Amino acid sequence: MATNVTSDSVTLPVIAAPEFERAGGTPNGVPVVTIDGSTHWRQWWVDLFLYRGALQSLMWRNVRSRYKQAVLGIAWAVIQPTMQVVVFTVLFGRLASVPSGGVPYPLFALAGLLPWNLFAKIINDGAVSLVANQHIITKLFFPRIYLVLAVGASALLDTLVTLIALVALMLWYGVAPGLGVLFAIPALIGMLVLSYGLAALLAAINARWRDVQHTLPFLMQVALFATPVLYQTSYLPSRWRFLLALNPATGFIEIFRGSMLGMGLPETRIIGISIAMSSAAIIAGVWYFTRSEATIVDVV
C-alpha cells in the first residue's frame, strides 16, 4: 500500500509496510511506514524504484516554478541564449576575430552554448538543491538524489527549445549537419550525466559547507572561458590542448558542435581524456553523495 504526503506543492509517495517484505503491520491491519537507514547499494536502488513518484512530482515542480509569474514564460529559453550569442559574437567574432571553423560565428557560438548552458544550469541549481529544500528533507523520506535529478527538468526543457532555435539558425545560414549529426545526442547525454555527477558531489559538500554556493557562480563564469565554448581547441597552441582536455566538458561540447555543424570531431586524445575525466567525476559524485546521504538531514 502506498499513500501520498503533500508538502509545499510537492506530492511525495510514502511507501507502507506491505511493499517491504521485512516490514510488518499492526493487528488491526493499519500499515506501518518503515524507513530503512541501510546504506547498502541494493536498498538504494530499491528506494529509487519505490519512490519514483517523488521524482516526477519534483521535476514538475521545477518546471512550473521556473516560469511561474513570468510574463514571457518559455520564451526566456530563447531570449537568454540569444542575448549571449549577440554579446559573444561582438566580442569574440568581431573584435577578437576568433576563428569559427568556416561557419558563421553566431551559429558557432550557439552550438557551443547549448550544451554548456545545460551543464551550467544543472551544476548551479543542483549544488544548492539540498539546502534549498531542507524544509522537505527534514520532514519526509525519499531518495535525496531525486532533488538533484529534478533540477534537470527545466534545464532539459530549455535545451530542447534552444535546439529548435539552433536548427532554425542552421536553416537560415544554409548549414547542413551531415551524417556526423548522429553523435550529437550521445554528446548531450554524456554532458547530462557529467552534470548530474558533479551536481551530486557539490550538493553533498554544500550541505555541510555552504562556501560552495558562494564560490560556485564565480567558478562557473571562469569555467566558461576555460572550456571551448566560444572557440575551438585547435585555436590554442598544441601544448595547451592537453590541459584543456582535462576539463571533462571539453570533449562533449566539441563533439556536439562538430557533429551538428558538420565541422568534424575533435582529436581522439581529447575525446578519450574527457570521457575518462567524466567517468571519474560521475563515480566520485555518486559515491560521495550516497555516503553522505544518511547524515544529510542532520547537517543541512
In a domain, 271, yes or no: yes
CA gap 221, 236 in Å, rounded: 20
For the chain, 300 residues long, give each residue's pLDDT as a single digit of tens. 444 544 445 555 444 433 434 444 455 555 555 555 555 667 767 777 777 777 788 888 877 777 675 656 677 778 888 899 999 999 998 888 888 888 999 999 999 999 999 999 999 998 888 888 888 877 777 788 888 888 888 888 889 999 999 999 999 998 888 777 888 999 999 999 999 999 999 999 998 888 888 889 899 999 998 899 999 888 888 777 777 878 889 889 999 999 999 887 877 887 888 788 888 888 898 888 888 877 776 666
Residue 44, pLDDT score: 67
Contact 123, 105 (CB under 8 A): no
Q: Which domain holds residue 139?
A: 38-299
In a domain, 178, yes or no: yes
In a domain, 24, yes or no: no
Give the DSSP letter of residue 92. I
Residue 207, pLDDT score: 86
In a domain, 200, yes or no: yes
Q: How far is CA 287 from the centre of its chain?
A: 17
CA gap 97, 253 in Å, rounded: 21
CA gap 160, 218 in Å, rounded: 26
∠ CA 138-139-144, rounded to 5° = 60
In a domain, 257, yes or no: yes
Contact 247, 274 (CB under 8 A): yes
In a domain, 9, yes or no: no
Residue 1, pLDDT score: 45
Contact 296, 130 (CB under 8 A): yes
In a domain, 264, yes or no: yes
Report the greatest alpha carbon distance in the chain.
Answer: 78
Residue ranges of the alpha helices (H) in the chain? 41-50, 52-66, 76-88, 105-127, 129-132, 134-137, 145-150, 152-173, 184-208, 211-225, 238-245, 249-261, 268-299
Q: Which helix (H) or strand (E) holds 2?
A: strand 2-7
The number of distinct structural domains making up the chain is 1
pTM (2 d.p.): 0.80
Q: Which helix (H) or strand (E) holds 42?
A: helix 41-50
CA gap 43, 221 in Å, rounded: 38
In a domain, 26, yes or no: no
CA gap 205, 285 in Å, rounded: 10
